[in-house]
Amino acid sequence: MPGQDFDAVFVSPVGRLGIRVEDGALCRLAFLSGHYRLRTARCADTRRVQRSILGFFTDPGAVSGIDCRLSGTDFQRRVWRALRKIPYGKTMTYGGLAKRLGTSPRAVGNACRHNPVPIVVPCHRVVARHGPGGFAGDRQGRLVRIKQKLLCAEGVEIRD
């Protein structure tokens, strides 16, 4: 049954979100289709993380205190740490972040695509030189619209 692999599935301003929390740390956040059944958070840690994520839409800083347990390569974790340093309300280009990290824009984009906890690790703040760029592996469609909504929640408007 869809949604069984999440500790909570809930409605947000960008659609349904699923989260997995282990030992108080967020380890997965996913943008879900409407086919996923809502699932009430059953433990205090999951409810706390859910409240913070929902709080993002009125105060983007609300997610800064969420502890995360991230599985990925050393390089991916290095990119994800850099993403958390981009202040809310600001963006950086793939090329700019790549230059800062001494790598390529494509490698940064690939690490962003594999980000297990978007919103909290704000890969949506990394944009193309001209326009929003892709999001979660998509170059157009629902996920790119979600990226634009996340940026809008932070007071940033990027047009194609």
Give the catalytic positions in this structure: 123
Q: Judge whether 29 and 116 are in contact, CB under 8 Å.
A: yes
Crossing angle of helices 105-113 and 94-101, rounded to 10°? 100
Contacts of 5 (CB under 8 A, 6+ apart): 18, 20
DSSP reduced 3-state for 133? coil
**Cα 110–113–114 angle (5° rounding)?**
95
